[in-house]
């Protein structure tokens, strides 16, 4: 068979689901940090609006 034939397939699906969830959460945290940095650099005004406008659609 294979090297990992004795493993439970449900365990593999569970681990994959946890991995995807964790990486998604990490991505959201990084995006939030990016937004904080952009807001700190540009402040409120036309410069920041120019960055956010294309993302709104």
Domain ranges in the chain?
9-56
Decide: 39 and 48 in contact? Cβ < 8 Å.
yes
| pLDDT of the chain, 57 residues: tens digit per residue | 456 656 666 678 889 999 999 999 999 999 999 888 888 887 778 777 777 777 765
pLDDT of the residue at 20: 96
Say which residue the tokens 């409120």 belong to. 44
């Amino acid at each position: 068979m294979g090297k990992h034939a004795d493993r439970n397939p449900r365990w593999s699906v569970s681990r994959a689901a946890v991995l995807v969830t964790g990486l998604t959460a990490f991505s959201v945290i990084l995006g939030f940090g990016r937004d904080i940095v952009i807001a700190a650099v540009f402040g409120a005004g036309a410069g920041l609006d120019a960055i956010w406008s294309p993302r709104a659609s």
